[in-house]
Amino acid sequence: MEKTHLVIFDYSGTLSLEAALFSRNERLVMELRGSGLADLGIVTADVFWREIVNPTWQEGSTTGIGYATIMADCIRERLHPGVSDDTIIGAAQSFAARYFGASVVHPRWRSLLAGVTGEETLCGVVATDHYAEATGYIIGHLEALGIGARSIGSPDKGGCLSVANSADLGSHKADRRFWEQVRDLLSLEGISGVTIVDDFGYNETTGDAYAAREKIEQRKEQTEALMEDVFSAAVATVPFMIQCADGSDRDVAGAIEEVSALMRARLSIPGV
């Protein structure tokens, strides 16, 4: 049956709350120590963002070089820790594995994701700006919940989500080319609607420039306009926010259930 509606799920901060929580200062500092990166000079969250992530994000998230490799290269070039390459590579690989391994899909999303993959007229896509290693981990985390998944460029297994990663597609979600590739790879020229579930950076750590609160509404409007243009279809966004206006965290399970109920009603997916 022909796909008539595209359903897009953001990953970090939406499907995976752990990905966002991992990057919060206290947890991040603990992981820097546990991985060995702190011994190489990456002692604080500020150093991590300023010296490692921000300078390399564009290359790391739009090429196949990988998080561990680009991190190790950056440590050599910017921090000069005076240790062996094996030590640098080992610490970078340990941190990357900790991060990707911890970035699981919250189990409360399972019902909605299963509903989307079970409807023949819906095309479900997990869209993320991420490093190359993330694709395999995301597929694994989804399959651990019983949700079929594949890389968007691989053969269609049917009844599964497609994972569209910026590192695989060579451009970010904010770029038109990303969505043109999604449209073309999934043959979605004739769809009538698009629904997006996304935190628009709201749930990301404030240590990352991507999370600036004042930019969220702008991102939302830009996303809607871009998607309408690329897909020539009506676009609806469903923001997923786990923080209240006073900065306190909402009940995550309740927030997911709220969004899931809204999505099931919007897409006529039976409740589970």
Q: Per-residue pLDDT for 58 more than 80?
A: yes
**Mean pLDDT (whole number) for 230-256:** 82
CA dihedral 55, 76, 47, 66 (to 10 degrees): 50
**May I ask the CATH class of domain 5-16+105-267?**
alpha beta
Q: Per-residue pLDDT for 36 more than 50?
A: yes
Domain boundaries, the chain: 5-16+105-267, 21-102
Distance CA 63, CA 49 (A): 19
Distance CA 138, CA 142 (A): 6
Beta bridge partners of 193: 5, 234
Q: For 192-202, how does the pLDDT look when each residue is reduced to its tens digit (9 = 90+)?
A: 999 999 988 77
> Is 107 exposed, middle or buried (CB count within 10 Å of its CB: 0-12, 13-18, 19+)?
exposed
User: Positive or negative, the Cα torsion across 259, 160, 14, 103?
Assistant: positive
Instruction: Give 175's contacts (C-beta < 8 A, 6+ positions apart).
Output: none
pLDDT at 218: 82
Q: For 179-225, how does the pLDDT look when each residue is reduced to its tens digit (9 = 90+)?
A: 999 999 999 988 999 999 998 877 775 545 454 566 777 888 899 99
Q: Per-residue pLDDT for 102 more than 70?
A: yes
